[in-house]
Amino acid sequence: MLIKVPPGWTLPESAVTPESAWRSRREILRGLGFVGAASLLPACGLGVRGSPFSGELPPSPYDAYFPVPLNERYAVTERALTDPETATTYNNFYEFTTSKDGVHLLVEDFEVEPWTVEIAGLADNTGTFDVEDLLTRFELEERIYRFRCVEAWAMTVPWSGFPLAKLIEFAAPTSDARYVRFVSANDPAVMPGVSASSSYPWPYHEGLTLAEASNEMALMAAGIYGAGLPRQNGAPLRLITPWKYGYKSIKSIVRVEFVSEQPATFWNTLVPDEYGFESNVDPDVPHPRWSQASERLIPDGEEVPTMKYNGYEEYVSNLYR
Ligand X SMILES: Nc1nc2c(c(=O)[nH]1)N[C@H]1C(S)=C(S)[C@@H](COP(=O)(O)O)O[C@H]1N2
Q: Contact positions toward ligand X, by CB under 6 A? A: 91-95, 149, 184, 204, 233-234, 246-247, 249-252
- Residue 236 to residue 116: CA distance in whole angstroms: 10
Smaller CB distance to ligand X: residue 43 or 92? 92
Decide whether 22 or 91 has the Cβ nearer to ligand X. 91
CA distance 94 to 100: 9
Out of ligand X, Mo ion, none, what residue 241 binds, judged by CB under 5 to 8 A for its kind, is none
Strand-pair partners of 297: 154, 302
For ligand X, which is the closer residue by CB, 154 or 167? 154
Q: Are 217 and 316 in contact (CB under 8 A)?
A: yes
Nearer to ligand X, 95 or 212 (CB): 95
Burial of 262 (0-12, 13-18, 19+ CB in 10 A): middle
**Which is nearer to ligand X, 95 or 122 (by Cβ)?**
95
Residues that bind Mo ion (CB under 5 A): 92, 149, 246-247
Complex with Mo ion: residue 49 or 238, whichever CB lies closer = 238
**144 contacts which partner out of Mo ion, ligand X, none, CB within 5 to 8 A by kind?**
none
Question: 305 — phi, psi (to 5°)?
Answer: -65, 140
- The count of other CB atoms within 10 Å of the CB of residue 259 is 18
What's the min distance (Å) between Cβ of 224 and ligand X? 8
| Residue 158's binding partner out of ligand X, Mo ion, none, with CB under 5 to 8 Å set by partner kind | none
CB of 34 to ligand X, least distance (A): 18
Cβ of residue 244: shortest distance to ligand X, in angstroms?
A: 10
CB of 218 to Mo ion, least distance (A): 17
From ligand X, Mo ion, none, which one binds at residue 71 (CB under 5 to 8 Å depending on kind)?
none
Q: How far apart are CB 221 and Mo ion at their closest, in Å?
A: 15
d(CA 49, CA 34): 15
In DSSP terms, 224 is beta-bridged to: 159, 227
Residue 306 contact, options ligand X, Mo ion, none, Cβ 5-8 Å cut-off depending on partner type: none
Element (H, E) at 19: helix 18-31
* Residue burial 136-170, b: 16+ Cβ < 10 Å; e: rest: eebebbbbbbbbbbbebbbbbbbbbbbbbbbbbeb
Q: Measured from the CB of residue 145, what is the shortest distance to ligand X in angstroms?
A: 11
| 3-state SS class at 194 | helix
